[in-house]
């Protein structure tokens, strides 16, 4: 949801009613991506990390394979971007501990290309279609499509 922090996103995830018996015959999974709004709203890094841990705990309890997408850059807010790098690294470490796939996006998207160019030409943070194409390619390279394909077998 636009503007939502990790705390709000994970609370919404916890409020989603999922009946585990319904999942037995279906390939269900969860892809999580949050963190950018955390640094903008000054949600603490500890709260963000606790949110990710809680979401991964719930996914585990529901036997939902999880994939985490790291937060992208917000080029118009250099202080926020520095915090996003730290948050992305923390999220990567949490995912590594739990053997959950993680796609780092910040570094690749901040390095240049359509994401950065389109965001700079717009509101400073959100690209147009070319930027989202760049993100989609990055996620493909990070194994998201392969992960989803493997789950559906």
- Looking at residue 132, which CATH number applies to its domain? 3.40.50.1110
Residue 28, pLDDT > 90, answer: no
Residue 108: domain span: 6-16+27-151
Which pLDDT value is given to residue 146?
Answer: 95
Annotate 115-142 with b (16+ C-beta within 10 A) or e (fewer). bbbbbeeeeebebeeebeebbeebbeeb
The domain total for the chain is 1
- 77 domain-assigned: yes
The whole-model pTM stands at 0.91
Q: Is residue 125 part of a domain?
A: yes
Selection from 129, 23, 128, 125 nearest residue 84 by Cα: 125
- Is residue 52 within 8 Å of 68, Cβ to Cβ? yes
Find the mean pLDDT for residues 77-104: 95
Mean pLDDT over 44-58 rounds to 96
21 in a domain, yes or no?
Answer: no
35 within some domain? yes
Residue 22 lies in a domain: no
Is residue 133's pLDDT more than 80?
A: yes
- Which of 15-19, 41-45, 46-50, 54-58 comes out lowest in average pLDDT? 15-19
Answer yes or no: is pLDDT of 42 > 90: no
């Amino acid at each position: 949801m636009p503007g939502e922090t990790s705390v709000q996103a994970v609370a919404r995830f916890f409020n989603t009613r999922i009946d585990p018996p319904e999942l037995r015959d279906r390939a269900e999974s969860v892809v999580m991506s949050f963190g950018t709004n955390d640094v903008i709203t000054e949600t603490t890094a500890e709260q963000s990390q606790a949110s990710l841990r809680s979401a991964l705990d719930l996914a585990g309890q529901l036997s939902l394979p999880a994939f985490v997408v790291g937060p992208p850059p917000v080029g118009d807010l250099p202080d926020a971007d520095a915090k996003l790098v730290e948050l992305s690294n923390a999220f990567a470490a949490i995912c590594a501990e739990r053997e959950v796939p993680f796609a780092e996006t910040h570094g690749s998207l901040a390095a240049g290309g359509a994401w950065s160019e389109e965001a700079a030409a717009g509101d400073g943070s959100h690209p147009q279609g070319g930027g989202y194409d760049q993100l989609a390619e990055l996620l493909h390279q990070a194994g998201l499509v392969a992960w989803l394909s493997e789950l559906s077998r």
